[in-house]
Every structure is written in C-alpha cells, then in structure tokens.
Structure 1
C-alpha cells in the first residue's frame, strides 16, 4: 500500500473512478465484478494501491469503455515506474511542484500563457533567482537555491534528445519588466530569442495595443497527455498550486488558448518585438 502516491499515480486512480462512474457503478458493485472488496477498489482509485495493465483492461471491459486509445494510455501509466530526478526534492519542496515536474516529464506537448513574467521553462538563472527573492512568503537563501535548481532541472524537457514541443504566449508587459535590473532583463530577452530559433519552441507575444483579451491577468499552463482526456491544466495562484483535469475545464482552457493565439503576434513578429525591447534596455 502506498502512503505517498505520486501525481501520476493519483491521476490514474482518478481516471479509473471516472470510468466507473460513467458506467453507473458503485465501488461496491465494481468490486463484485472484480471479485475484490470495496476498499480495494477505493484504494486503486485513490492511487494508494498499484494497478496492473491487465486489471485496467478488465475494468474497462466491465465498465463498457469503448475508447481503446485511452485504455492503452492508462495501461502505460501502470507500467511506468519512473521515479525521476524530482524525487530528490521531496523533503525540500511542496509536493505539487514535484507533481508538475512529473507531468512535464511525460507530457506530449506544453502550452503556456503568462502576463507578468517570463515562463519558468524559459527563465535564466539570474531572472529566476530574482523572481524567488520577490516571493510573497519570503524564502530563505537555501530555499531560494532549492527552488532555483529545481526550476532549471525542469527545463531539461526542452533539451533532451526528443524535446517536448513547447508553445508560450507572453504579454508585452513581461518582456518590458526589468526583473533584476537592465542587465538581467537584457540577458533574459536574448535567451528568449535564442530559444525561439528552435523548431520545437513557438513564442507569441500579446502587445499592449491588443487591449483586453481572454484570460488576461491569469497564468495558465496546459500539459498535453497522450490523449486529450489525460490533459492537465496547472494554475499557479496566490493561494497555492491547482491542477485541473475535468473534461469541461480542459475544454474551457483549450478554447482559451485558441483565442489567445488569435490576438497574439506571429512568431516572427514576436521575435521582432523581443529584439526591439532588448535594444531599448
């Protein structure tokens, strides 16, 4: 029995519960079909008990789930025993940050929208350090360094042999904000330009002239899973970190990103804007 399931293990359990509920079955009824006790079904759905690929397929059969692609994606989640680099931070950082790193590690692609700062996966060391220094809950120097090293290690998804495709919509305000002073801000913009040259990274900017736009003032991180039902939305809010995976929520944020991209500059014009802002520093 797991005492501390990872975010991925919790998500597998959530998806199994969704399948059961769509089938109109109680956990007791599901247990009867499997020949196990109700509490075992509950433990599987809470991520506290491991589930084999065969059991996932059996559950899908009992639940009359016709989505073979989804079922195969769920079986792959059961067989992945990855305990990645983020585990070394388990006693140092909030668990939600470790869940985010695990999500990114397995993601098919990533989409980011942010207003007041450069996205974390694109931040330089000096820029990120200044962001952590300005945290509302003041961080100690060791805590700042732990968070900094964690953020930089998260960026490895953009540098590995098969980089994760990444798209970001960044407001002009974030480009012009002199985080850490002119020298740090200039270095950050130069880093953005270098990253935007990569085939797997797409940057789009929303200018001040665009006025109000959908989702303004909200930072949104959309993590694409192997199939759409396994997508996740991550919101970094003042009261804490929030993960969303309900179908209606995923549809809402997919639509929001489409509308954001409709008002944003093209990648080429975004590069021109970044270059222009950098020259002004």
Structure 2
C-alpha cells in the first residue's frame, strides 16, 4: 500500500491562523470586484505586512511613503485592495529589503496579483468556480480525489472536449471549443515555472471509462503517464480489488505557501460548491484522502498499472 504523504504539514484552520497572527480572519472566498485573483493579493499583502513589521515601520509611515492612507495600507495587507508594482518597490525600499532575490520574488508576486487570470471575465465561468480557480492558481499543494473522470488539471485536449460535451449537451460547437480552451489554459498550471505540488487519487473507474472512445482514452492515458513522471505530480489509482472507498464523492484540498492563508477543502456540486476551512471539516477531508492514499496503489505501481492498461487490447 502507498504511504500517507508525510511531507505535508499539519493543517491550520482560518481560526488557528488568525489566533497565531493576531489579526482578523482572511476571507479566501471573496472575489475582488475587478476580477483580480484575490488569493494572490492576500499572499502579497501578508508578505508586505511581515516585511513592514520586521522593519519596525508603522502603517502611517508606509502610507506616507506611497501617498496613501493608513486604512489603504491595512486593506492592501489583507488582500482587499490592489497595490501597484511601483508602490511595492517603494515599500520594499522603506522596509530595507536589499536582498535582490527577495525583491524579485515580491515584485513578481505583485505583477501576478495585478493581472487577470486566463479564466477571468468569461461568461462561461460561474462566480463560485471563478473563486476556486483563483485559489487553485495561488495554491502550493493541490490534493484531489476523483471517482468518475480524470481531474481537469490532468486532462488532454480531446478528453476534455469529450467530457465537456457530455456535461453541456445543449452547448453550441463554438461554446464547446471556448470551454476547451479555458480548460487547457487552466491545465498550464502544471507546466508553469513554479508549479504547485499535485497529488491526485483516482478510482479505477476514472481510467476505465472511455469518453470520446478508445482512441481518445488511449491518448489521455498516455498524457497522464507523461504527467506522472513530472517531479511535482503524483497520481495514485485505487483499484476495484481494494473494496469500498473512504470517500463518497470528489473533492480537493488546497494548501498555500503563505502562512496567513488557511487550507481549503473544495467540494463541487452540480450548481455550486462548498469552500470549507473549519478545523473539523479539514480534519475530516484530510483523514479521508490519507485513507485513500493507503488504499491506493503507490505512484510507482500506478505508472505500471496505467502502462499495462494502455497496452491492453481491451482499451
């Protein structure tokens, strides 16, 4: 059996993080009115606050430096207001940040937080899913369980097209293609310069079903195998022979590199989604995915399983 992924640290709920930081809770589910990725703003704001406190600079002094109000500084640090790259550069100077690597990192985060994501401003993306995509883009770890299909981040183009056609039977061909382009843009998260750690547990049914036919599924399995060999991607299959599963449906747990942001359990439904960050909820979902990892084939065994399936005449 596969070991539970020990490298993942203990979970913190929003309440726990707030207690530790001595601040009001961050609202990870707020979507900025102008469509900016709110989670990235929160990461930037938390880092700027940490640098300000370390430099023993109060909010009034920071506000004077960039000709803003102290209230605006507070909102920036909570991720509730945007901050330009020029303002970030000025604050870094005030805070005495001379390390070039630190400067580049913070300025790059400012640039990323100030750009609309590829999924944003699309009439095809409901608000609740747009909120999730912003969080997914900002996550450092993505752990997910899927029972019926390959996770969106790991889908090939033709497989995604087949899945989308099934999910939207009344959509026009043009709309289908727009949805496919959006999904493929989202999948580029796996290949970016600093990608998140992706750990996916799949029921065997997800790799046995053949949306689009045998050729489409063969290409999807080959794509999945290629992703499995990336150092930041782990896939585990729970074979039918392992009996009952600990989960009753798909879900995702997101973790963020910034300590001020709590973990999130995301459970998608037909017309909406639940975003959970309470300790008891996170404990429950983390326990389930840990048990699924124990039930599943190891990542190495999964590669052998998928290779055998791809080579099988039954495909």
Q: Same fold (TM over 0.5)?
A: yes
The residue correspondences of 1:26-41 to structure 2 (distance < 5 A) are none
Deviation per CA, 1:114-162: give whole Å up to 9, x if none: 0100111111111001111111663232322222111111112210112
The number of aligned residues is: 229
Q: Corresponding residue for 1:85?
A: 117
Q: Corresponding residue for 2:303?
A: 271
1:222 aligned onto 2:257: no
TM-superposed CA distance for 1:176, in Å, is: 0.8
SS in 1 for 2:287: helix
Q: Corresponding residue for 1:203?
A: 235
1:181 aligned onto 2:213: yes
1:8 aligned onto 2:29: no
TM-superposed CA distance for 1:178, in Å, is: 1.1
User: Which residue of the other structure, out of 235, 244, 263, is the alignment partner of 1:231?
Assistant: 263
- Report if aligned partners of 1:90, 1:98 keep a CA contact under 8 Å in 2: no
* Structure 1 or 2: more helix by fraction: 1
Q: Corresponding residue for 1:133?
A: 165
Deviation per CA, 1:56-76: give whole Å up to 9, x if none: xxxxxxxxxxxxxxxxxxxxx
Q: Corresponding residue for 1:262?
A: 294
Matched residues in 2 for 1:239 and 1:10: separation? 26
- Report if aligned partners of 1:86, 1:101 keep a CA contact under 8 Å in 2: no
User: Which residue of the other structure, out of 184, 194, 213, is the alignment partner of 2:245?
Assistant: 213
- Report if aligned partners of 1:4, 1:48 keep a CA contact under 8 Å in 2: no
CA spacing shift, 1:11–1:276, aligned 2, 3 Å = same
TM-superposed CA distance for 1:260, in Å, is: 0.9
- Report if aligned partners of 1:117, 1:175 keep a CA contact under 8 Å in 2: yes
Matched residues in 1 for 2:291 and 2:153: separation? 22
- Report if aligned partners of 2:40, 2:138 keep a CA contact under 8 Å in 1: no
Unaligned runs of 5+ in 2: 1-31, 43-70, 84-108
TM-superposed CA distance for 1:93, in Å, is: 2.1
Unaligned runs of 5+ in 1: 13-39, 53-76
CA spacing shift, 1:49–1:107, aligned 2, 3 Å = closer
Deviation per CA, 1:177-224: give whole Å up to 9, x if none: 1110000011111111111111111010000011111114x1111111
1:106 aligned onto 2:138: yes
TM-score (norm 2): 0.63
Q: Give the alignment's Cα RMSD to 1 decimal.
A: 3.3
CA spacing shift, 1:172–1:48, aligned 2, 3 Å = closer
Query: Which structure's relative contact order is higher, taking Cα pairs within 8 Å and 6+ residues apart?
Result: 2
SS in 1 for 2:118: helix
CA spacing shift, 1:235–1:11, aligned 2, 3 Å = farther
Q: Corresponding residue for 1:19?
A: none
SS in 2 for 1:86: coil
Q: Corresponding residue for 2:276?
A: 244
Matched residues in 2 for 1:257 and 1:193: separation? 21
TM-superposed CA distance for 1:95, in Å, is: 2.1
TM-superposed CA distance for 1:245, in Å, is: 2.2
- Report if aligned partners of 2:39, 2:134 keep a CA contact under 8 Å in 1: no
